[in-house]
Amino acid sequence: MRGTFFPVCFARELLCPLSFVCSVVIREKISALMVEYIQHDLLTVIYNKEAIMCNRVTCIIVMMVLLISYSFINGCTPDRAAMTDPDDSDSELLPEPLTAPPRPDTPFVFEKQALLLHDDFKSGNINEWELGAGWAFHNEDDNHFLAGSEHGFVRPNVHNWSDYTVETRFKLVKGSFHFNLRENQHGGHIRYSVSVSSGGMDLHRQVVSDFFLLDKSAVAPKLNQWHTIRASLEHNNIKVFLDEELVFNYVDNEIPLLTGITSFETMDNSLLYLDDVTVNGTQLVQRTTWERTGGPSGGLGYDVRIHPSNRNIIFVTDNPSGVNKSYDAGVNWVQRNEGITARGGASGDGIPIFCLTIDPNNPDIVWAGTQGMRGIFKSTDGGETWFKKDNGIKEFWDITIRGFAVHPQNSDTVLAAAEINTGKLGNQFYLAKGKIYRTEDGGDNWSAVWQGDNLARVILFNYENPDIVYASTGIFDVEPYNKNGVGVLKSTDGGKNWRQINNGLENLNVGFLEMHPSDPNILFAAVGNHYYLEHNGIYRTLDGGENWTKVLPVTSGYQSSIPMTVVAISPSEPDVVYAGDDGGFYRSSDGGNRWVFQNVSTRHGYGPPGVRAGIPISAVVDPYDSDVIYVNNYNGGVFKSTDGGVTWSNNSTGYTGADLHAVSVDPNNPDTVYAVGRSGPFRSFDGGATWQGIAFSPAYFAEWNNVVINPDDPKELLLSDEFLANLLKSRDGGNSWSLVYADPMAESDYSAEGRHGVKAISYAPSNSKIIYMGLRMDRRTINGEFSPKASYGIFKSVNGGDSWENISSTIEVEYLNINDIKVHPNNPDIVYAATWRDGIYKTTDGGKSWAAVNNGLFALDVRSLTIDPTNPEILYAGLAEGVGIFKTTDGGDLWEAINAGIIVHCPSFLQRVGQVQPGISLELPQRIAGGDYYSIPWTNIESMVIDPSNSRIIYAADYFRGVYMSPDAGESWVPINEGLSTTAVKSLSISADGWILYAATSGAGVFKLQLW
């Protein structure tokens, strides 16, 4: 029995009935009071919002009363408290398991016959359409229609359709257009299209950059006349009519695209009018749709900006979540991307916004720029909606807009800083050149005013003399093309001409630049690059950049091995300056002469307990409070400090661009879920509504590969990293960790050439003391080449992970890289291992011997496996290399492709000899490093799970196309992506009752699907 001393225990037993009745309310009050008491150094008690000041003697007495009362109340609860093992006390904090309602008999996905779309544009409301470049609403002689005048798309904002008929009236004034009959919902990667011109019509099938000519016809519309075109798409049959004349009747017997939407695409130097668009047909409808949890935190964050006259309005940018806006000082975030047409990422649906600037003259004007493609967007309503403004920008795929500066007296004059990707690798990162563009007409036209051998990033106008402009060049994770860097640039004619001002700068990789708010001649520069680390630190100039002095050198400890990445000055108290890097934040109270490291000494990096904040890439100080600072992070999220950088809160609610690698749901409680990825390990106790970081030492590193839950003890977790081959174990649901395995060979080979991680972990379902794990080398390009290397194979533990043995010595292959491991549900000695490049291996003796079981597989890069729990001879294998899903019914002796309904795609230049159709170019569609084919879109089945309550229902995650469901043991598949903002899904996990499915994505965090 727990208690403080005997009299308390005795009284507690006598009054237990009363205290039990009151325990819920009183325990919470006392607990909250104790927390507040402790936080106020035992000097102030906060109760009912009234502060009671007391001396130390009174404080001690009050604290004793609180402790006795807490023990009294907490100990009185029958069974749960007085009779609970102390080691299990934290279990009281966990929520009660949810119970699924009865499962309905209706199918999860069903067909619906309906009028899917009709628009004659008379209402003038075109919110239901996504208008690309050159498209606009027009009214001519009281006839309302859409008009496209340059190369751009227009498509309806709808979900996927299956069988349908689409009809529209059109007038082609000049040029040509594509009528995209059926395309992947997120645009253009795979589609059927009819090219229409006055010279004829061609039917094509496009797969990314490959175009297959399916049929052609001399039937053609006349210019400057209205015509009607209709297309009927029924399963794999395509019929196209022009003015009721049948033009095409084609049956696709290859791998047909069976679902999608329609769109129209004008070509260069063309003019097209569209009117009366009608779609009738069959729509695939999900019983429920995916819910975005908005977490955990993470992403490629970039800028953070505070509204100049309303401190509650804040913007942060991120690739791939785009523009995120807060109306309550960072407590909550919402995406604001309407009108931003740029798309990127693994599945082509990310919103790659990097930089953002608020016009100082008019805060309703906001500028945003894209990463990895041409794209400058402007808002005139405070960032609520956007329109494209990049005419004159010459580059397309190889440009990233890194920053903007608006003339402080003329909103039409804007400078844009850019990175130009050369496609060449340096010592560790890509080599970049840079450009600065200038507009004098509010973005209608841009022209280049500088180009050089490193990217341009921060641009600052002198607010007293706008003819003087400064620009920083460089950043921490891109190398300068000239290997030395460019430093700081200065212009004295408003940005038309530039010169270098580097006197005193000992490192010319200047990732950040900040100007003093009351003296524009004082600037601070954050200097350093992950490869060029020498002389990193904070530099200051007092004379407009003519001379620089290092004011914050970092020469020892962890900080000496990382570059300074950000510096920020308080607008209200300019002597307060902050400087940050991956290791934490420094603060100066005297204008940068002396600095204090603000981090808690026991914490690695900065951020709240349990969270690895990431690399600070942009910071801004509250305009009225020098102790309040907001930081956006590379791989971390948004963090806020209210005490000058000493402590931090994770202010990322609703905002996530997290690149996740795995998700795992508690088998006993579908609301308890764990997720890991580049921003660390996290958990949620409320189905993803809120997330807690669990990166407690030694789990404070980033880049986590996997997290799995012991099926017999859900508080036991195994966590694996991506680079050091470390395996960590928690016995309390992630509150604490211990290192249970660290491969010495991987530790000694921690370099860009040899990073090894634990990718696969599997408990034996019939004996959770037996665990298997597999290692895999990190795949990346080194010095311009992709050089695959063997990893260290498969390991086994028979004592719950306390010790491990390598059991892969009998697997004699060149590349011993393990993607997945699955254990027989009833026999822990039968194990299957999915490998990269070597197929599937099987053991029936617990790993003493292994045999390849690849008969029938079309490729040997096997990403995922799952075993039917009701018939373990049935397995499903998810493959990469564009070949899809395979099934065996005899324990792996023979595999058969089961891809009916799966959009299987492999780029033509990667297909094996004899598979490429005649007439298709084998040229690479984009610049990629030699041999690195893993960053381009093709079918990768990264994860599969079987419904525990019905083994005929299977879910599969394609990293390119999202989630598929099979209701019939793999005989057919349907996409179930409604509600997903991205289809780049890396991992699936399903609750034990089959009620809730979780998806971990690359770029949008965790999604949740309540299946009924």
Residues 245, 115 share a domain? yes
**Is 161 part of a structural domain of the chain?**
yes
Q: Are residues 63 and 117 in the same domain?
A: no
Q: What is the pLDDT of residue 3?
A: 37
Distance CA 48, CA 31 (A): 14
- Helix ranges (DSSP H) in 408-497: none
State the average pLDDT over residues 316-322: 93
Query: Residue 1010: inside a domain, yes or no?
Result: no
Are 113 and 959 contacting, i.e. CB atoms less than 8 angstroms apart? no
User: What is the domain count for the chain?
Assistant: 2
Q: What is the pLDDT of residue 901?
A: 87
Residue 602 pLDDT? 53
The mean-pLDDT minimum among 60-64, 171-175, 465-469, 972-976 falls in: 60-64
Same structural domain, 231 and 119: yes
Confidence of residue 262 (pLDDT cuts 50, 70, 90): very high
Last residue of a domain, one of 264, 286, 308: 286
Q: Are residues 118 and 258 in the same domain?
A: yes
Question: What pLDDT shows up at residue 91?
Answer: 40
Determine which of 593-597, 888-892, 959-963, 967-971 has the lowest per-residue pLDDT on average: 959-963
Confidence grade of residue 765 (pLDDT, cut at 50, 70, 90): very high
Q: Exposed, middle or buried, 386 (CB in 10 Å: 0-12/13-18/19+)?
A: buried
Q: Could you tell me if 80 and 119 lie in one domain?
A: no
For residue 220, pLDDT over 70 is answered with yes
Residue 219 covered by a domain: yes
**What is the C-alpha radius of gyration for the chain, rounded to an integer number of angstroms?**
30
Which residues neighbour 824 within 8 Å (Cβ) at sequence distance 6 or greater? 764, 765, 766, 830, 831, 867, 872
The CA dihedral of 992, 996, 997, 1001, to the nearest 10 degrees, is -130
Query: Are 117 and 263 part of one and the same domain?
Result: yes
Q: What is the pLDDT of residue 815?
A: 84
Same domain flag for 267 and 195? yes
Residues 125 and 272 in one domain: yes
High-pLDDT (> 70) share of the chain, %: 83
Q: Dihedrals φ, ψ of 167, to 5°?
A: -135, 140
Q: Does one domain contain both 78 and 120? A: no
In a domain, 256, yes or no: yes
Band of the pLDDT at 846, cuts 50, 70, 90?
Answer: very high
Which residues span the domain enclosing 53?
6-84
**Type and span of the H or E element at 824:** none
Q: How far, in Å, are 104, 377, 618, 655, 756 from residue 354 at the CA level?
A: 45, 11, 11, 15, 30
For residues 872-894, average pLDDT: 96
Higher pLDDT, 123 or 262: 262
Q: Return the percent helix, strand and coil in the chain, to nearest 5.
A: 5, 45, 50
**What's the confidence (pLDDT) of residue 751?**
57
- Interatomic CA distance for residues 585 and 804, integer angstroms: 40
pLDDT at 95: 61
Looking at the chain, the whole-number percentage of residues with pLDDT higher than 90 is 67
The CATH number assigned to the domain holding 271 equals 2.60.120.560
- Asked if the model's pLDDT at residue 504 lies above 90, the reply is yes
From the list 670, 676, 672, the residue with the least C-alpha distance to 658 is 676
Determine which of 341-350, 636-645, 659-668 has the lowest per-residue pLDDT on average.
341-350
Looking at the predicted structure, is the pLDDT value of residue 499 above 80? yes
Of 251, 286, 321, the residue at which a domain comes to its end is: 286
- DSSP designation for 360: S
Place 603 in a pLDDT band, splitting at 50, 70 and 90.
low
Q: Cα–Cα distance between 210 and 581 in angstroms, integer?
A: 44
Span 950-979, average pLDDT: 95
Q: Which residue from 261, 269, 236 is spatially nearest to 250, judged by alpha carbons?
A: 236
Q: What is the pLDDT of residues 824-837, one digit of tens each?
A: 999 999 999 999 99
DSSP code of residue 953: -
The verdict on residue 220 lying in a domain is yes
**Phi and psi torsions of 851, nearest 5°:** -140, 140
Distances (CA, A) of 802 to 100, 249, 731, 991: 36, 65, 12, 27
Q: pLDDT digit string (tens) for 2-48?
A: 333 333 333 333 333 333 333 333 333 333 333 333 333 332 333 33
11 and 55: one domain? yes
**The predicted structure's pLDDT at residue 906:** 66
Who has greater pLDDT, 600 or 554? Answer: 554
Instruction: Answer with the one of 260, 286, 312 that is the final residue of a domain.
Output: 286
E strands, 361-443, are 366-370, 376-379, 387-388, 399-406, 414-425, 430-439
| pLDDT for the residue 920 | 36
Q: Both 29 and 137 in a single domain? A: no
Q: Which of 59-63, 589-593, 831-835 has the lowest mean pLDDT?
A: 59-63
For residue 247, being part of any structural domain is answered with yes
Fill in the DSSP letter of residue 475: B
Tell me: do 138 and 201 sit in the same domain. yes
Q: Would you say residue 22 lies in a domain?
A: yes
pLDDT tens for each residue of 520-557? 999 999 999 988 888 999 999 999 999 999 999 986 66
Q: Quick check: is 169 in a domain?
A: yes
pLDDT confidence bin for 134, thresholds 50/70/90: confident
